Amino acid sequence: MDVLTTVTIIFLLYSLYLLYKSYKLKCSTNCYLVDYVCFKPSPDRQITTRKCGEIIERNKKLGLAEYKFLLKVIVNSGIGERTYGPRNIIEGREESPTLDDAIEEMDEFLNVCIHDLFVKTKISPRDVDVLVVNISTFCPFPSLASRIVHRYNMRDDVKTYNLSSMGCSATLVAIDVVKNIFKSGKKSIAVVITSESISPNWYSGNDKSMMLGNCLFRCGGSAMLLTNDPAMQAQAKMRLKCLVRTHIGANDDAFNSAVQKEDDRGRVGVHLSKDLPKAAMRAFTENLKRLLPKILPYREIALIAFHIVKQKLVQPDAKLNKVVAQINFKSGVDHFCLHTGGTAVIDAVRRALRLSEYDVEPARMTLHRWGNTSASSIWYVLGYMEAKKRLKKKDRVLMISFGSGFKCNSCLWEVSRDLGDGDVWEDCIKEYPPKTLVNPYLDKYGWVHEETEETFNREERTEAFKNSPW
Amino acid sequence: MANEPLPPFSSSVRLKYVKLGYQYLVNHILTFILIPIIVGISIELARVGPDEILSLVRFLNDLDLIYVMSTLFLVIIVGTVYFMSRPRPVYLVDYACFRPKPNFRVPFSTFLEHARLVPQFDERTVRFQVKILERSGLGEETCLPPANHYIPPTCSMAAARAEAELVIFSAIDELLNKTGMRPKNIDILIVNCSLFSPTPSLSAMIVNKYKLRSNILSFNLSGMGCSAGLISIDLARDLLQAHGNSNALVVSTEIITPNYYLGKERAMLLPNCLFRMGAAAVLLSNCRRERSRAKYRLTHVVRTHKGADDAAYRCVFQEQDSEGITGINLSKDLMAIAGDALKSNITTMGPLVLPASEQLLFLFSLIARKVFKAKWKPYIPDFRLAFEHFCIHAGGRAVIDELQKNLQLSDQHVEASRMALHRFGNTSSSSLWYELNYIESKGRMKKGDRVWMIGFGSGFKCNSAVWKCLKTIKTPVDGPWSTSIHRYPVDIPAVVKVL
């Protein structure tokens, strides 16, 4: 009997221990955002609209039509006067970028931003277990992930991943990698670095579909620190609730909507086709179909289901537009971080989700202050909301981003505590929102429309432009 | 490749890597403690005799049903929880390598002729490249992509995309045919290609060609060097732990077209001589039903990154030479750094794979040296007891030679690496799969065999993976070696005279 009791007791204790271990493992599968830091380049890298005009002027291959087109794009872009560009373009060397230019651009970001992140979070680089870097259009060898390991002297069992060419939605792909690694339950600290490289990607030709990139992209980047350690929950800013990725590359039009290729003269640029907005909308719709059941409250889902069933019974063949029009997206989300791809993108998403100006204000202001910084833009938008003290405990933040391929990725965060850290917006948040977002040069560039090919004398105009009071 | 030999492994063993490996073991310490308790109880029972045991059984019959039922219930719950929280097994269902057609061949004579006709190369540069080729261990059947057959090579983006489509699609087509896997059933896609990353990515290109699902988890890794294949396997493993009943397609390749170096810097000319066209597509799965037809099971992946060290970080470096031409600079310290990285990697790998006898011997030797300060030479465990087959990245002849010497491997152990280098050249991250296919084609892969794959990469990284074979692979094997396996192994002379 003694033996039996002993065996039973040992067995019971061991089973309880196993159950406890499994429970602990389950608790360590959450993904917490401890902190993030956005990059603010030095003031000598600021580009005004006038400077943009000068830079475009330097391209002697442009004719009047292209020049008009580009100026129109710039003044209508919603981009303000304080965005940042890479040094080689500002200094006039955009047509012959060297490898060193690109590396220097990245170094300025990596040396400052990641250092600030470690200081803010009080984590040592030696504690980092996972490092995911996504910088889409620049891929040196060894990778930028290795560059960071070297620069910050990280451990040799650090898991590095260097994602590349995944477009403007790549930051959420990086978060996806981290989320999946965290699911194993082992307590880890992950650092995600997101940026874009502008220097080596200047398009020096005159194909209109490839010139948009030159006008809209600006320098920026962000570094995030994530963990699944429940002990750091108090320090964390947000917790990841769900992440949905959609890839409609199977559709040829969507796949070819943003393609890097050579133009007919052999110059490399990213061709943006006219199907891009349509592809974006399709990807967005696909994404919403999978996202909404995860983020909307049960009451709302039941209501939508009820409406769908009602419509199917009454008009089986009719489209579901009316039902879609009745969905209240704001019942499940308090704040919207939209990728600042351009005013068109922001307006399109605003219409689709029926948001107010207040909801899209962070995205518009980010576009104005920082331009389209590609994948890192959603972190600047988040920074704006935090600086404006909009983020309170238990608020839900939805991040939506689009990328070439064509991808639409979204994720929902839950805010863990009231946030108010201004970060890069600290010095200018009081000026936002400004009275008007209209470009000050809108009417100044009106003269372009009066010119014709014969009367357009560029040298004369350049002189006049330089001597003008603005 | 550099001439300095690898430092012998016996010169030092870093304690921290040993600790890392032992940590994995210690996690299961409670399970180990249970074993002596069970042994104790069994001895007690045996001592007590059969009559007592019978009386025990009768006692059990008298117990309340509720007691028995609740115990059974508890057993079932704990059993289920335990099995559910174990890591999911990762099976390699099958893999396929790109089979280059003979018209892409670059025999030594073609290489020499083309190098002479390229206007950017002077005679000295040509002679240097040919000298490297003579001593490289490459054969006459290695292949370069179509763009490199032009004089001078046409390194446009369109040509690079064409090469990518050629190698990747043919490898994936072959894999899908072999496994009968429908593209719609692929849940995870990971592509690694170091030196070419267009927009949209190569992974998007694959999604487009095979019409993969819109909720696919796709990842495109770039710039991670020749060890990126094992990094992709590691990522696939992590993803398969997080998602049950999933299939992952891993594609490893290196696109040669945009990376031909047309300058005069010697250290940067080496890649021209060594890198060749290749690709591999691997299907991994954690579905139980794939167990019956899977070839291998992934048991361990160990990654080591030496980037914190300056020399290691700079040893394989892309930069622009004095004329502004971009190329990859290979430093003279490559061998020493590779050796150091490998040493760290195998010290962590050791406790995971070595048999108990070797581990105990190693532990005693370590304790004696560190605690008792005995002047013994460190005991280097015999890895041949842990693995039957070795796939060492065919980076170059010198690397394979030195590794063979240091790990005390026989010629047969490194034969797969040498022959893959001879037949296909350095195909970067996909070379490990060509080597594995060699071993299978030779009929040497039996059920239960363990394979150790070691890859080196820029950064400097050393990654290794251990696979266990689940079924004996019967010859003939349909793969890249089908047309040439009967001619191998060949004796590769130290120098093949061309000039």
- Rounded to the nearest angstrom, the minimum Cα separation between A400 and chain B is 16
Residue from B208, B328, B352, B463 to probe the interface with A (highest A Cβ count within 10 Å): B208
| Straight-line distance from the first to the last Cα atom of chain A, in angstroms, rounded to the nearest whole number | 98
- Is A167 in Cβ contact with B30 (below 8 Å)? no
A19 lies in a domain? no
A307 is catalytic: no
Give the integer Cα–Cα distance in Å for A225 and B369. 41
Place of tokens 């491997």: B409
**Could you tell me the residue range of the domain that residue A194 belongs to?**
30-239+441-447
Per residue in B359-372, pLDDT (tens digit) is 778 778 778 877 77
Q: Is residue A344 part of a domain?
A: yes
* A206 in a structural domain: yes
Would the CB atoms of B157 and A268 count as touching at under 8 Å? yes
A287 three-class SS: helix
Same domain, A130 and A226: yes
> If you measure CA to CA, which chain B residue comes closest to A146?
B459
Please indicate whether, in this complex, the C-beta atoms of A270 and B199 are within 8 angstroms of each other.
yes
A191 lies in a domain? yes
- pLDDT tens-digit map of B41-92: 788 777 777 777 777 677 767 667 777 777 777 777 777 777 777 788 999 9
Residues A249 and A393 placed together within one structural domain of the fold: yes
pLDDT tens sequence across B200-256: 999 999 999 999 999 999 999 999 999 999 999 999 999 999 999 999 999 999 999
Residue B114 falls in the annotated catalytic set: no
Say what the ipTM of the complex is. Answer: 0.90
Within-domain flag for A14? no
* CB distance A136 to A196 below 8 Å: yes
**Can you give chain B as a three-state secondary structure string?**
CCCCCCCCHHHCCCHHHHHHHHHHHHCCHHHHHHHHHHHHHHHHHHHHCHHHHHHHHHHHHHCCHHHHHHHHHHHHHHHHHHHHHCCCCEEEEEEEECCCCHHHECCHHHHHHHHHHCCCCCHHHHHHHHHHHHCCCCCCCCECCHHHHCCCCCCCHHHHHHHHHHHHHHHHHHHHHHHCCCHHHCCEEEEEECCCCCCCCHHHHHHHHHCCCCCCEEEEECCCHHHHHHHHHHHHHHHHHHCCCCEEEEEEEECCHHHCCCCCCHHHHHHHHHECCEEEEEEEECCHHHHHCCCEEEEEEEEEECCCCHHHHHCEEEEECCCCCEEEEECCCHHHHHHHHHHHHHHHHHHHHCCHHHHHHHHHHHHHHHCCCCCCCCCCCCHHHCCCEEEECCCCHHHHHHHHHHHCCCHHHHHHHHHHHHHHCECHHHHHHHHHHHHHHCCCCCCCCEEEEEEEECCCEEEEEEEEECCCCCCCCCCCCCCCHHHCCCCCCCCCCCC
Q: Is the pLDDT of residue B10 over 50?
A: no
Pick the catalytic residue from A59, A228, A368, A439.
A368
Closest CA to A232 of A51, A469, A28, A408: A28
Chain B residue with the nearest C-alpha to that of A156: B305
Query: What is the mean predicted confidence (pLDDT) over B378-391?
Result: 83
Same domain, A58 and A206: yes
What pLDDT, on a 0 to 100 scale, did the predictor assign at position A394?
A: 94
Residues 159-198, chain A, touching B (beta carbon < 8 A): 159-167, 173, 176-177, 179-181, 183-184
In a domain, residue A1? The reply is no
Q: Please count the structural domains in chain A.
A: 2
Report yes or no on A423 lying in a domain.
no
Same-domain pairing of A131 and A144? yes
Interchain CB distance below 8 Å, A157 and B461: no
Domains and CATH numbers, chain B: 31-85 (no CATH), 90-353+379-487 (3.40.47.10)
Q: Examine the domain organization and report whether A152 and A216 are in the same domain.
A: yes
Q: Does A139 touch chain B (CB under 8 A)?
A: yes
| Mean pLDDT over the full length of chain B | 87
Chain A closest CA to B425's CA: distance in Å?
20
Amino acid at position B454, single letter: I
Q: What is the pLDDT of residues B458-484, one digit of tens each?
A: 989 999 999 999 999 998 999 999 999
pLDDT along chain A (470 residues), means of 10: 70 78 80 95 89 81 80 82 90 87 93 95 95 91 92 93 92 96 90 93 86 87 95 94 95 92 88 88 91 90 86 76 76 92 88 91 93 93 94 95 92 94 87 79 58 52 44
User: Do A186 and A277 belong to one domain?
Assistant: no
% of chain B beyond a pLDDT of 70? 91
A254 and A335 in a common domain: yes
Residue tagged active-site, from B143, B422, B437, B469: B422
Give the model's pLDDT for residue B430: 95
- Is A18–B87 a contact, with Cβ atoms under 8 angstroms apart? no
Residues A263 and A228 both lie in one domain: no
Q: Kindly give the residue spans of alpha helices, DSSP state H, lying in A332-432.
A: 343-353, 357-370, 377-387
| pLDDT of B73 | 78
Cα distances (Å, whole numbers) of residue A392 to A334, B77, B428: 10, 41, 50
d(CA A73, CA A53): 11
The confidence score (pLDDT) of residue B22 equals 63
- Please tell me the distance in Å from B7's CA to the nearest CA on chain A: 20
- Chain A, 214 to 243: residues with Cβ < 8 Å from chain B are none
Structure tokens at B34: 């249970």
Nearest residue to B461 via CA among B258, B232, B272:
B232
Q: Half-sphere exposure of residue A377, counting CA atoms within 13 Å on the CB side?
A: 35
User: Is B221 in Cβ contact with A161 (below 8 Å)?
Assistant: yes
Task: Tell me: pLDDT of B6 over 50.
Answer: no
Same domain, yes or no, for A185 and A296? no
**A146–B305 C-beta distance less than 8 A:** yes
Position A100 in a domain: yes
pLDDT higher than threshold 80 for residue B122: yes
Chain A residues in contact with B218 (beta carbon < 8 A): 247
Do both A270 and A407 map to the same domain?
yes
Residue with the two structure tokens 């070819």:
A256
Higher pLDDT, residue B11 or A202: A202
Say whether both A297 and A255 belong to one domain.
Answer: yes
- Burial class from Cβ neighbours inside 10 Å (0-12, 13-18, 19+) for residue B12 reads exposed
Q: Which residues of B touch A166 (CB under 8 A)?
A: 201, 203, 219-220
Distance from CA of B356 to the nearest CA of A (A): 24
- In the 8-state DSSP scheme, what is residue A92? T
CATH (domain of A113):
3.40.47.10
Most confident of B68-82, B347-361, B393-407: B393-407
Q: Do A235 and A252 fall within a single domain?
A: no
